[in-house]
A = this chain, B = another copy of it.
Amino acid sequence: MFDMHNQTWSRSEKTIARRAYDDAHDRELSALAEEVRRRANRITEPRHIWALHDFLTRKRKEIDRKYDYRYSQLVLVFALLIRDGWLSEAELTGLAEEKLARIKLLLDMWSTE
């Protein structure tokens, strides 16, 4: 059995993690910028302005909450990023097997919910 609480990250794991995290963040924010542009260019009524504001409020909370670069949180963060399509499992190659197994476990749990 793997140790669910092993939070040790080797130097090479940290490098992989940082890159994966930053790349996912860049992708998600680029997609958000594109979506904001799309919505802004479709504003034809005042209520569309406030709908865009509500959308940004929601996204900002969601993104602030999700991107948490504490080593104790990274397994969960990576699982969320994979689930939402901002990261692929392949980009985490090189992380310890037990971390990858915990990520897969979370993904399996969510996929059957």
Closest B residue, CB atoms, query A26: B46
**Contact count band on A:** 10 to 19
With a CB–CB cut-off of 8 A, which chain B residues contact A39? 40
Q: Of the candidates B33, B43, B50, which one forms a contact with A49 in the assembled complex, judged by CB atoms under 8 Å apart?
A: B33
A107 adjacent to chain B (CB < 8 Å): no
Q: Of the candidates B25, B46, B53, which one forms a contact with A57 in the assembled complex, judged by CB atoms under 8 Å apart?
A: B53
Q: Is the CB of B32 within 8 A of A49?
A: yes
Copy number in the complex reads 2
A56 adjacent to chain B (CB < 8 Å): yes
Measured CA separation A83–B48 after assembly (Å): 26
A52 adjacent to chain B (CB < 8 Å): yes
A76 adjacent to chain B (CB < 8 Å): no
With a CB–CB cut-off of 8 A, which chain B residues contact A46? 25, 29, 33
Question: Chain A interface (Cβ within 8 Å of chain B)?
Answer: 25, 29, 32-33, 36-37, 39-41, 43, 46, 48-50, 52-53, 56-57, 60
